[in-house]
Chain A
């Protein structure tokens, strides 16, 4: 069966520090991968999505980046965190069929202080 791992579960970082969140998927190949962010009390904001290795589409963020060095690995990074980067970060995968549902990881709660 397919599983998705996301770590760390919680993270407290000072403003201006770098960030690296990792997500890996097991039990499937060539998944579509997604990074979302959820601010407190808000909906999910799509940050990045990827259809294959090295193929990243960016939706919104100015100081965040994503990379997909391997088929089932998706990394979210920042060189310098802002206070506004605080939130709940969720990684998700889905199959390539049009109706494939999204499967989410447990999320990382990031607090920038």
Chain B
């Protein structure tokens, strides 16, 4: 079946630094990828939708300059949290679709200290 690989699974960074999270579709071409985040005891919330070769579409309240999304190829999307702060600490997870269903990555636990 379709597999999505997400790295890293855990990352701890200092406040003010940037962190990049990768999401790769291993055995299919993902026309669209999605980024979600989940704060403790909260629902998974969609952050942005990215289509290969075009700018990402961000949900209301998500800062596009802070959460940079690049979807340069059909198998890779990256999320960069710029100038991370402790309030950005969360569980980030991607999903990918080739138009007939979607597959989730294993998630990234980001802790900003």
Chains A and B bind each other: no
Which residues on B are within 8 Å of A, measured CB to CB? none
Which residues on A are within 8 Å of B, measured CB to CB? none
